[in-house]
Each structure stands twice: as structure tokens, then as C-alpha cells.
Structure 1
Amino acid sequence: MQSPRMLDNKWELAQFYGTVYGIEESQAIIEVLNEWAPTNNKKVREFESKFSEYVGGKYGIAANSWVGAAHLLAILMDIKKGDEFIVPALTFQASANIFHREGAKIVFADVDPRTFNIDPTKLEELITPRTRAIVVVHMCGQPCDMDPILEIARHHNLTVIQDAAHAPGTLYKGKKLGKLSDFVIYSFHQAKNISTLGEGGMLVTNNKEWVEKMKRLRGHGTGLYIGISSRMTDVQGAVGAIQMDRLESNNSIRRRLAYYMNTRIAEIEGMIVPYEMPDVYHVYHIYNVIIEPEVLGLDRGEFIKKLWTKKRILVGTQYYPTVNCLPAYKALGHGEGECPVAEDISSRLVSLPISPRFTESDMDELAEGIIDVVKLCKK
């Protein structure tokens, strides 16, 4: 457990907490407490409506987490043993876990080396008669290249599931994600751009029939189906609705700080700043740089350690090893060499802190700390 003293370090706060709360959330919580804090009531309904409209979908199903929302979808799809789901190797394991748990065979796809998103040019070779769905993950807050993905999915009659845990508010060629495919799943975990008191999730869709069934499944099935319990509480829903009012501003701050950071560290040899696709709105949930150890003069572990010991700046790694190389998936027959681009990138990624609580002065401190550490190690 983090001690209060440890959490005073802003660089640690940025790694673990991704949003900002204020008096408005406190007042919303008190209002719900005065109504005896019901679960999944009118405040959740308000949040579902507000959020789904914002991301371009007709209906939202709020849940206790991203996984809770994805579990509802997995049950709805009635996955049969051997059904194949294509999932990028460079992601958090949750993107694959729940579909595997419901009976799917996970087929891992490699990624684009610049965006870290699933590579559309690698999809056709992975599709078989058993393929049911493509799970696309909008990594770091940047949308995948959806046009070719959707074209491939239509050609093969496949479901496209968007994992938008990193990407509330992102746009692809001016389009909101909720308009692009049947299902989009969001996370409101404490580290995300928007949070509902530490946990939460929502599935957004445009199909009313599916929504009605998933709402029943969310509350144990209500006797009609064998369901689960993945409800969001009204306290969380009330906070989520307030958080929606902060999201645009917080995303704008993240973008501004990311661009500013690009200018500060772009000249460091051996460090590659994030690539942003044209015609997208990237919301920078994560600011990842790629380390080139032979050029930088430091491998990733040394760089992270020295930045902490010399400057007390905490940076981290993201998604290493890739999901296909995790022990649980190795036991299923996956492993090294399956997705070489993703595996290489994951071994060299460093996640630098970024937060709507930060200013350009904070970015200056971060950049100068990095520059000093690199210079020190090259002497």
C-alpha cells in the first residue's frame, strides 16, 4: 500500500491517478448519500445517457469495470469453444482474458511500430473460418486505423470490438468511436482520463435489443438468463457525470503537454517521441517514448533506475512482456516470436508521466531531469 508520504511525489501520482476531482464530485456524492446510496439507479442512467451521446453511440451500459462490461458482451455473443478472437499482442491482458475465459481461442496480432496499434496489414493472414471478432485497442489514447479494419471485418462478416479504455474523447478522421463499430468498451479505472472513484466501465452500442439483454445480464439475468453482477453504483454514476464536464478540458491539457514535451526531448538521440497519425484526435492517456539503448547509452532498466535515484522522477514500462509472452498464455501454446514487432517495442517502451494536474513547468522539470541523466551517463 502506498503511504501518504510516497503519494506526495507528483511523478508517482501521475502514474497511478489520471484524472482530477473537485468540490463538484463531493457535492454529487453527498446528494446520492442523502438518497441512501442506491446501486445502479437514476444517476447511473444519467451517466449512461450523457457518456454514450458524447462518444457517438445510442446506448450505454455502465458496469463495475472494463472487464465487467466486456463480460456482458462475451455472454451476449454466446462464444463457443474454438471461436477465434483476434487481439493485439501489445495491450493489457484484460483485452484477451475475458474472451478466453468465455471459451474463445485468442489469436494474437502484431502492431504498427509507430502507433503501437493493431496493424491492419497483418489481419487477413490471421483470419480463418472460426474467426468471430477483431478486438482493436486504441493504445495510449490514439485511435486505430479503423477504415481498413472495418473493411476487412465487413468482408469476412466479423464483429469489431473497440477497446477504448485509453481513449475517451478521441476522434478518428473526425468521427466519434461510437459511430464506427457495434461495440466500444471504456474503462473508468483510477489511472484513466476519466474515473468513477477508482473503478468502472461502460459498453457503448447502437443496438437496442442487445442493450436490453445486457442490462438484464448485468443484474444476474433477472430470471430470464443466467447472468452476472457487474452493476455500477449511483455514487459512481453521479461522479462520472461530473467527470464528463472535465473531460474535454483535461484531454486538451494532456495534448498540450504532450506536444510541449515533444519539443523538449525531441533532440535527445536514442529517444523517439510519440508518433501521432494525421486526421486523429489523440488524447494521450499515456505518453510513451521508445528507447534505443545502443544510441542512448543506457538500456531501459538503467534509464528508469537512474531517473529515480538521481532525480526522484518515477517513470514506468507498459505491457512488457506482451500478452502472448505472459506465462498463462505461454501455457496455451503462445510465446516469443509470435508478434516480433510488438515484442521488440514492448521491451523498449518507457511511459513518462503526463497528467491534467501538470503544467509546462512540470514538463520542464521532467525533460531537464531526463537530459541531465542522459548527459551524466554519456560522460
Structure 2
Amino acid sequence: MKRESYLPYGRQWIDDKDIQAVVEVLKGDYLTTGPNINQFEQAVADYVEAKYAVAFSNGTAALHGACFAAGIGDGDEVITTPMTFAASANCVLYQGGAPVFADIDEHTYNIDPIEIEKKITEKTKAIIPVDFTGQPVHLDSILEIAKKHNLIVIEDAAHALGATYKGRKVGSISDMTMFSFHPVKHITTGEGGIITTNNREYYEKLLQFRSHGITRDPDIMIRNEGPWYYEMQFLGYNYRMTDLQAALGISQLSKIDRFVELRKKYVSMYNDAFKDLHAIQIPYQVKDGSSSWHLYIIRLKREKLLVSRKQIFEALLNENIGVNVHYIPVHLQPYYQKLGYQRGICPNAEKLYEEIITLPLFPAMTEDDVQDVIKAVTKVIRLYSK
């Protein structure tokens, strides 16, 4: 039986405490940069067990800041995965660098460390691995490669707040780590992002970069003309988060463990229901970490289906199940094609893209919602499989 109302693939969960936190800021003295910013940054740093955190207006801005702090500039190459949102590569272009795409592991869907090693040249400056769907990348191998070649690791953990790698929180391991607070992520600030790091130098650069390159710190100013004085020391951007966003973030973060546990519960329900459907493949389970499950992706076995992925996708939409596809490989986008990136450079990612569908997964779902997804997927796959 078709679900009555449309179920999106992702959605925020805002409660009365979140609303009250924002209302209190609206009644206070600060709407833009205020005390909640520092509180939110400290709360995130404490949660992921990192020394420092710098909040930004969005995750893309945070990645841009990390690339600046890493010293990426004209002619530098940065290795990343094509199986990600465009921001993971665009941030390199913003600094005048060149993204280099390394193919994914066909089991984990994360960037393959072996492929990273193949792409390193004299121009390589950094690696931006992405914890795709919330599954941590193989950080030991990537950090070993980075150390060997004197590279900086900027981990794009937009999907992975609450994930762990070998008992350590994602966010405390790489040189810099980015988390996103878009409404479909684990917690939301509306729009927002953050960089966590254990490096004091990166921390100070990030703070200044997000605010026009301006400082009021007398210890680093070239001169000091008085208490009103400030200096713009390099070209930065207005990438500041607002106090409104930070207040929402503080409230949301207090619920992160509950949110992640619900995601894991719903994933378990999906896995149990789909494991015997012979025409689909359920997600790989990482063996050296714990996913925080931002996305749940099924992979279609095309040889066992009577119809195309598009027809499966449309059939699920017709059941009022809000499916999606994550992602179109970045190097296949028209802009990147114009830059000279060619189809065929990452065959595993390209093949995966043609076979995946993202199912709804978010904490505000109910178990009945999950069962509706299971019924729809089972119905459609059985109808169109051999």
C-alpha cells in the first residue's frame, strides 16, 4: 500500500528547547558575533576531543578556510575523492590549487589509499579525504602517506559527526577536520560549518581568515594606534557564523548521541530487511571504526534487474519515498569537464554512481516511517527484479 504523505530523504529535528535557545538570543544584545560562538566552538571541540574549533557560516567556507590555513596556493595539487559534494574539490580551486581525483575503494566507497599514493607528485600539498555517508576513511593509511610525503590532511567529515575511528572521535585525528551543520546533517545550525584541529597555528589562521583577515590582537599587529585599532593583514572573507546559529547549535549538540543512536537503529532495521533481497547490496560495515550514518545507500545489481536505476528511482518516488542519489562524481560535472577532467579517470566511482540510491534516514523519522520505506523498496525491487 502506498504511503499517504511524502517522506524526505533527510530533515532537521527542531524541538521547543532549540526554538527557545534562538529566541533568547533574539532578545539579547548580540545577533551576529556574540558569546554563543565561543561556547559552541568549545562544545564541539570537547565533543570530538580536539583542542580547537573555529565555526564558519557553512561547511564550504570552513573547507576554504582549512585550505588557506594549510597554505594551498597557485599550482598546488590536492588529492580528494570524486564521490562527494562539489565543495570538497571547489575549496581547492578557491585558493588557486588543482584538485586531483583518486578513485574509491569499491567496497567502502571511500577514497582508496592505494589510489592516493599513485596520484602524488612534486606539486601535491594536501589530501582531502571524505568520510562518505558517515563511514570513517582509513585514516591510518592516509596519515602514513601524508607523513611520508609531508602532506597536510584536511578531513571532510561533513557526514561523520559522532563517528569513531579505532576508538577515537573523528575530528581529533587529522590535521584539520570539517563538520557541516546543514539541516540534513547530524545536527543543524541552519547553515554552518566548523573546523576542528589540534594545531594552534592553524587555529589562529582560521580565526583571522573568517573575518576579512582582520586582527585586533596587539601581539601580532604591525603597529597599535589605540584601543580602537585593528589591522587587515591578508585578504580574508566574511565567513562568520551568527550567534543565532551558534545558540541553535549548542542546543542541537546536546542531543547528538540520541540522534546518532536513532540513525544506527534505523540502519539496523534496513539491513535486516534488505539483506536477502538479491537485487540490491546493503552498505559495507567498517571494521576499524563506527559510522554515524548520515546516509543509507543501497546499490542496485543491474544484472538482476529488469529496469534501469532511473525507473527504480521513479517507482520509489511514486510510493512517496523521498529517494536521492549521492553523488554525481565531481569530475563529471560540466565545469570540471571544461577544466580538462575526463570521464574514465575514476572508474569505481563512476560505476558506483550509476548503481546507487539514497533512502530516507534521519532521527525525526519514526519506526513506522522506516517500515514504510522497507515495504516500498521490497515491493519495487521484487516487482522489477529477475
Normalising by structure 2, what TM-score?
0.92
- Distance in 2, matches of 1:377 and 1:208, equals 56
Deviations 1:122-181 (A, max 9, x none): 121110111000100000011001111111110111001100000001000111123311
- Distance in 2, matches of 1:332 and 1:227, equals 26
Instruction: Answer yes or no: is the 8 Å Cα contact 1:80–1:104 preserved in 2.
Output: yes
Instruction: Answer yes or no: is the 8 Å Cα contact 1:269–1:296 preserved in 2.
Output: no
- Distance in 2, matches of 1:38 and 1:324, equals 39
Q: Match of 2:373?
A: 366
Deviations 1:250-309 (A, max 9, x none): 100001110111011111111000111113111110000101122032321000111222
- Distance in 1, matches of 2:323 and 2:96, equals 36
- Aligned to 1:329, the other structure's residue is in SS state helix
Q: CA deviation at 1:378?
A: 4.9
Q: CA deviation at 1:81?
A: 1.8
Q: Does 1:332 align with 2:339?
A: yes
Cα separation, partners in 2 of 1:82 and 1:224, compared to 1, 3 Å:
closer
- Distance in 2, matches of 1:214 and 1:362, equals 41
**Structure 2: stretches of 5+ with no match in the other structure:** 215-231
Instruction: Answer yes or no: is the 8 Å Cα contact 1:60–1:202 preserved in 2.
Output: yes
Instruction: Answer yes or no: is the 8 Å Cα contact 1:109–1:118 preserved in 2.
Output: yes
- Aligned to 1:11, the other structure's residue is in SS state coil
Instruction: Answer yes or no: is the 8 Å Cα contact 2:70–2:152 preserved in 1.
Output: no
- Distance in 1, matches of 2:132 and 2:327, equals 11
Instruction: Answer yes or no: is the 8 Å Cα contact 2:305–2:384 preserved in 1.
Output: no
Match of 1:168 among 161, 164, 173: 161
Q: Match of 2:54?
A: 61
Normalising by structure 1, what TM-score?
0.93
Q: CA deviation at 1:359?
A: 2.8
Q: Match of 1:48?
A: 41
Cα separation, partners in 2 of 1:216 and 1:369, compared to 1, 3 Å:
same
Match of 1:279 among 284, 288, 308: 288
Q: What are the residue-to-residue correspondences of 1:218-229 with 2, within 5 Å?
A: 218-222=210-214, 223-229=232-238
- Distance in 1, matches of 2:379 and 2:295, equals 23
Q: Match of 2:311?
A: 302
Deviates most, 47-56 or 293-302: 293-302
- Aligned to 2:101, the other structure's residue is in SS state strand
- Structure 1: which amino acid aligns with 2:164? L
**Structure 1: stretches of 5+ with no match in the other structure:** 1-7
- Distance in 2, matches of 1:153 and 1:90, equals 21
Q: Match of 2:203?
A: 211
Q: Match of 1:4?
A: none
- Structure 2: which amino acid aligns with 1:237? A
Q: Does 1:107 align with 2:94?
A: no
Q: CA deviation at 1:218?
A: 1.3
Deviates most, 276-285 or 216-225: 216-225
Q: Match of 1:317?
A: 325
Cα separation, partners in 2 of 1:260 and 1:215, compared to 1, 3 Å:
same
Instruction: Answer yes or no: is the 8 Å Cα contact 2:66–2:154 preserved in 1.
Output: no
Cα separation, partners in 2 of 1:134 and 1:127, compared to 1, 3 Å:
same
Q: Match of 2:383?
A: 376
- Aligned to 2:129, the other structure's residue is in SS state strand
Instruction: Answer yes or no: is the 8 Å Cα contact 1:268–1:371 preserved in 2.
Output: yes
Cα separation, partners in 2 of 1:80 and 1:375, compared to 1, 3 Å:
closer
Q: Does 1:124 align with 2:155?
A: no
The alignment's C-alpha RMSD in Å is 1.5
Q: Match of 2:268?
A: 259
Q: CA deviation at 1:10?
A: 4.8
Match of 1:85 among 74, 78, 88: 78
More helix per residue: 1
Q: CA deviation at 1:71?
A: 1.8
- Aligned to 1:25, the other structure's residue is in SS state helix
Instruction: Answer yes or no: is the 8 Å Cα contact 2:279–2:385 preserved in 1.
Output: no
- Structure 2: which amino acid aligns with 1:333? G
Give the fraction of aligned pairs with identical amino acids, expressed as a percent: 36
Deviations 1:216-259 (A, max 9, x none): 22111222222110000001111101111111101000011101
Q: Match of 1:245?
A: 254
Instruction: Answer yes or no: is the 8 Å Cα contact 2:279–2:381 preserved in 1.
Output: no
Instruction: Answer yes or no: is the 8 Å Cα contact 1:291–1:299 preserved in 2.
Output: no
